[in-house]
Amino acid sequence: MNPTSTPFRLANLPLGLALAAGLMAAIASPAVMAQEKVLRIAMTAADIPRTLGQPDQGFEGNRFTGIPMYDALTHWDLSKADAASVLMPGLATSWAADATDKTKWVFKLRPGVKFHDGSDLTADAVVWNVQKVLDKDAVHFDASQVGVTASRMPTLRSARKIDNLTVELTTSEPDAFLPLNLTNLFMASPAHWQKKFEAAAGATPAEKSKNAWVAFAADASGSGPFKMARFLPRERLELVANKGYWDPKRTPKIDRVVMVPMPEANARTAALLSGQVDWIEAPSPDAMPQITQRGFKIYSNAQPHVWPWQLSFAEGSPWLDKRVRHAANLCVDREGLKTFLGGMMAVPKGTVPPGHPWWGNPKFDIKYDVKAAQALMTQAGFSAAKPMKAKVQI
């Protein structure tokens, strides 16, 4: 029941990624903009993802306000379109589990990295960023960041500084996935936050901390390849290149990125065709022929991005019966969905494709077979006279 999605990236062919045209006057003076290479993006997001270091809105948030502005201890290698991403060093140059205690991991940090405010990124900063989502007694603990962070690192419990460039992370149990999950813990500048805290209003430290995070989100400081330049909630986010970024391969080749929330596919398509933006995701499938006819190029790549139904296993739920779950799966016409989307969908066999290391040896074949589904429902005790009833929450 889980179709994979296909992201689309579009750019005007003559201009490529070094774009400096269109609505320049809305951003800065024509003289300034004539010297800048600007990329204007219409996002699928309905709002600017959170900018304080731990984005919301899933990976949309990570790729728009997480990865551009911040670094994590480990990164995904996103440089190849024809191969799956693999883990690579980020702020950590190496890591290993303790030979005698597999709940402890030691990470060696990259020397010389600075936050956008000029402060050093050291082991103290890593400990501080772990505390912001795990240590309720820390003055900078922010409950609003816990849900989008701790849930992706469920075993992480604490961090300890060993020396200026070495940090030890402790988990609740041995967890080989920790280096993968740490790609979601972005490092915000403790020094920059402290200045916001000292200037914040509030009768208690908790109130000052909450207001400090609000101020930090409007004037963020990470260590990523782009720096925040202008932020208008629900309207636009502007980032400028961090020319001193530590990784030459990821140093921006453009000067400025302007992001505008535009969740409706037809609106994004119209913005592209009218010259309001230069790059969009997920255009309306019906408009794709018109887009290519107008000289734009469509980049597409299947990815294992699924929207699974979360079935209730509460007492009395019909979904407890595996035959019912299988029958529902057999009723989804995935080939029909692919046709409806103009071919821009991969027909899945599961969360991962056959041949993937995680594929295993499933006995149930996901396909479209209504008669087989009806037979399973009959076996489960349902019929036209006794239909299955279920509530759907959206």
- Along the 394 residues of the chain, how does pLDDT read in single tens digits? 344 333 344 543 322 222 222 222 233 445 445 588 999 999 999 999 999 999 998 888 899 999 999 999 999 999 988 887 899 999 999 999 999 999 999 999 999 999 999 999 999 999 999 999 999 999 999 999 998 888 889 999 999 999 999 999 999 999 999 999 999 999 999 999 999 999 999 999 999 999 999 999 999 999 999 999 999 999 999 999 999 999 999 999 999 999 999 999 999 999 999 999 999 988 888 898 999 999 999 988 877 777 778 899 999 999 999 999 999 999 999 999 999 888 888 888 888 889 888 899 999 999 999 999 999 999 999 999 999 999 888 7
Is the four-CA dihedral 125, 126, 130, 135 of positive or negative sign?
Answer: negative
E strands, the chain, where? Answer: 8-12, 38-43, 74-76, 87-89, 92-97, 104-109, 156-163, 166-171, 226-232, 236-241, 256-261, 279-280, 296-300
The per-residue pLDDT for 13 is 30
In the numeric block, the tokens 């402790």 are attached to: 170
Q: Provide φ and ψ at 170, rounded to 5°.
A: -115, 135
Please answer whether residues 193 and 140 qualify as being in contact, where contact means their C-beta atoms are separated by less than 8 angstroms.
Answer: yes
Q: 306-327 burial, b if ≥16 CB within 10 A, otherwise e?
A: eeeeeeeeeeeebbebebbbbb
pLDDT of amino acid 346: 86
Structure tokens, 117: 């405010």
Separation between Cα atoms, residue 150 and residue 366, nearest integer Å: 33
CA atoms 13, 14, 17, 21: torsion sign: negative
Three-state DSSP state, 217 = helix
Phi first, then psi, for residue 210 (nearest 5°) are -60, -45
SS3 40: strand
CA distance 329 to 331: 5
What's the pTM? 0.81
Contact between 172 and 150 (Cβ < 8 Å): no
What residue ranges in 101-225 does DSSP mark as E strands? Answer: 104-109, 156-163, 166-171
Amino acid at 72: A
The candidate with the shortest Cα–Cα distance to 237, out of 96, 92, 47, 364, is 47
pLDDT at 8: 40
> Shortest CA distance to 265 belongs to which of 45, 65, 105?
45
